Amino acid sequence: MKREFLKTVALSILIAASLLLTLGIWNYQPNYDELDNSNYTNETLRGGKEETKKSIVEPSKVIINSNGSYSGFNDKTRQDELYRKMQDWSLIGFEEGIKTDQELPDSDEYMVELIFPLEVPASAIRDLFTVEDHNIEQVQRGSFDRIFLRLNEDDTINMTFFNTEAMMSMESTVQNANAANLVEKYAEIDDQIDYIRYEAGADTPIYLPRESRELKELTFSADAFTTTAELDPLLNSLLLNREVLKSNRMEGGGRSYSDGIRELRAHESEKYMEYINPLPENRRIDNWELVNQTVNFLNTHKGWTNSSQDEYQLYELNAQQNEVTYRLVYKEYPVFGEMDQLATINIVWRNQPYKYNRPLFQLGDSFDYGSPSNLPMGTDIVNFLDNTKGSSGIKDIMIGYKLVDEGISVRLEPTWFKKDGGGWSELDLSELSGLEEG
């Protein structure tokens, strides 16, 4: 009997051990050194939101092609609607991987073209769309700036992700049965404006609205958050050492905050901040991982301080510098600042923010119904481009708003912007008036 008793004891011990180990695996937390969190507050930026990767990448233009004539939605919210629905489509394909040396599809081959303001890394496809296919792994290294939708006879849709810089493409198929219906329904919406397809030499075509929409010049109150109390969530999130934090009045107004290592400079009247944390350069990380980490970082202090009509969108990615720029977009029109710090959240990432520059205000109430602007028409722009040297370097042209700082308010002026090798900038039309007169 003694043997049986020992066996009972052994079994009990083993059972107890298995329970303990299971609990251990679930609950194990290493003993980190106690961090001094006494000053830590869980506050976040006033009026700030959280965003997902899915919502910050959007096409800047959606062009509908019907038998060689091009148009786009007059009401830009339609464009957003269609794209959001596309994001729910379930994609398969990609088994051919990245195809190089591709030609752009002929105009009779596709129905809808989506144009993005930057080269989106292919690893984003999985987050932006719904992909249940392992073949997606095969296109991890690519990127795209346009998407073409082709409607087949059998009501399926082919979705081609195209890189117009490298002339490479990735093919996928939409699995949803009603996708073709949806696209056709949107293509038939009456409220559309004509686009001119402008081909500068052998380059990728650029689409410009033929007659500029009646965009108005708008004035908003600028709800600034530049006081120490309002910046508190940022100071926490940026790991400034609160124990030794010193704040000094800056010469041009505003305050600088520093713990001897990191420095945050909040410019009061200009309504933006600069932050620097002297970290050594580190390995380059994957572009989309960079977006992932910076979105998470911004979410921790609710750094997306857009209001209901506007949003921040991913606009530039610089792999060499680990730098990412999120731009303010008002009703689907991008905003470019006279001082661009007022319209962009710019982060250089080295596992933590190394540099972090951002506006310190939110668009508030609109003061008036706006005054009409005398924006040149798309046809004028095309004439202008034809008569201007060096316009072949232009990769895209679109209407956006120029943000002009007026102290307690900001004004948004509809303006033409171009994208070339140096990124986005205002299209210099000073010669345009001269052409008309002459």
Partner 1 sequence: MQWNQIKTLFILCFLILDIFLLQQFLSVIDSRAPSESNPYSSQEEVIKENIKGLDNLPGETPKDSFITFKARDFTEDDLTELTARREQDAFILSDGDLLFSQFKEPIPIEADSTKSEKEVKVTENMLFGSEYVYWGQDEVTGALIFFQTNNSKPIYYSQSGFIAAFVNKDNEITSYIQAALDEVDRKEPKSMISAFKAVSNLYNAGELTLDSEITEQPEVGYYSFVDLNEGQQVFIPSWDITINESKHYVVMGFEGQFSSHDNPMFIRNSIRRAQDGLRTTLLEEEDMDYLRNTFSDLLESTRVSGEE
| Chain centroid, CA 133 distance in Å | 25
Q: What letter would DSSP give residue 40?
A: -
Q: Is 398 exposed, middle or buried (0-12, 13-18, 19+ CB in 10 A)?
A: buried
Q: Looking at the DSSP assignment, which residues form a beta bridge with residue 71?
A: 64, 194
- With CB under 8 A as the contact rule, the residue among 55, 138, 256, 379 that binds partner 1 is 256
Region from 121-129, 196-204, 240-248, 430-438 binding partner 1, contact rule CB under 8 A:
240-248
250 touches partner 1 by CB under 8 A: yes
Q: Please state, in angstroms and as integers, the Cα–Cα distance from residue 202 to each residue in 164, 263, 390, 395, following that order.
A: 12, 48, 14, 11
Min CB(159)–partner 1 separation in Å: 38
25 touches partner 1 by CB under 8 A: yes
15 touches partner 1 by CB under 8 A: yes
For residues 64 and 111, the answer to whether their CB atoms sit within 8 Å is: yes
Region from 54-62, 177-185, 274-282, 321-329 binding partner 1, contact rule CB under 8 A:
274-282
Q: Is 187 exposed, middle or buried (0-12, 13-18, 19+ CB in 10 A)?
A: middle
38 touches partner 1 by CB under 8 A: no
338 touches partner 1 by CB under 8 A: no
Q: Residue 68 or residue 280: which is nearer to partner 1 going by CB?
A: 280
191 touches partner 1 by CB under 8 A: no
435 touches partner 1 by CB under 8 A: no
- With CB under 8 A as the contact rule, the residue among 8, 181, 296, 309 that binds partner 1 is 8
Q: Residue 85 or residue 242: which is nearer to partner 1 going by CB?
A: 242
Q: Of residues 281-320, which lie at the interface with partner 1 (CB under 8 A)?
A: 281-282
Angle of the 430-437 helix axis to the 378-386 helix axis, nearest 10? 90
- With CB under 8 A as the contact rule, the residue among 278, 422, 434, 438 that binds partner 1 is 278
Q: What letter would DSSP give residue 120?
A: E
Min CB(16)–partner 1 separation in Å: 10
CB atoms near residue 351 (< 10 Å): 11
Tokens 């970290």, located at residue: 279
* Euclidean distance between CA atoms 95 and 377, whole angstroms: 44
251 touches partner 1 by CB under 8 A: yes
Number of residues that bind partner 1 (CB under 8 A): 39
Q: Of residues 93-152, which lie at the interface with partner 1 (CB under 8 A)?
A: none
- With CB under 8 A as the contact rule, the residue among 130, 135, 258, 318 that binds partner 1 is 258
For residues 137 and 175, the answer to whether their CB atoms sit within 8 Å is: no
Min CB(298)–partner 1 separation in Å: 23
214 touches partner 1 by CB under 8 A: no
Min CB(249)–partner 1 separation in Å: 7
Query: Would you state the structure tokens that stand for residue 217, as one six-digit string?
Result: 């010049």
Min CB(353)–partner 1 separation in Å: 14
- With CB under 8 A as the contact rule, the residue among 46, 141, 185, 249 that binds partner 1 is 249
Q: Please state, in angstroms and as integers, the Cα–Cα distance from residue 311 to each residue in 18, 295, 327, 331, 349, following that order.
A: 52, 14, 8, 8, 22
Region from 133-141, 156-164, 250-258, 305-313 binding partner 1, contact rule CB under 8 A:
250-258
In degrees rounded to 5, what are phi and psi of residue 388?
-115, 135
253 touches partner 1 by CB under 8 A: no
Q: What is the DSSP secondary-structure string of 311-367?
A: EEEEEEEETTTTEEEEEEEETTEEEEESSGGGTEEEEEESSSEEEEEEE-EEEEEE-
244 touches partner 1 by CB under 8 A: yes
Helices (H) and strands (E) in the chain, counts: 9, 25
262 touches partner 1 by CB under 8 A: yes
Q: Residue 262 or residue 411: which is nearer to partner 1 going by CB?
A: 262
Min CB(288)–partner 1 separation in Å: 23
Q: Residue 250 or residue 408: which is nearer to partner 1 going by CB?
A: 250
* Euclidean distance between CA atoms 344 and 424, whole angstroms: 12
Task: For 152-289, list the strands marked E by DSSP.
Answer: 157-163, 168-174, 192-198, 206-209, 216-224, 246-249, 255-258, 263-267, 272-276
356: which residues sit within 8 A by CB, 6+ positions away? 238, 273, 274, 275, 345, 346, 347, 348
Q: Is 77 exposed, middle or buried (0-12, 13-18, 19+ CB in 10 A)?
A: exposed
Min CB(39)–partner 1 separation in Å: 14
Q: Residue 312 or residue 354: which is nearer to partner 1 going by CB?
A: 354
- With CB under 8 A as the contact rule, the residue among 2, 4, 34, 437 that binds partner 1 is 4
Q: Which residues bind partner 1 (CB under 8 A)?
A: 4, 7-8, 10-11, 14-15, 17-18, 21-22, 24-25, 28-30, 32, 243-251, 256, 258-263, 277-282
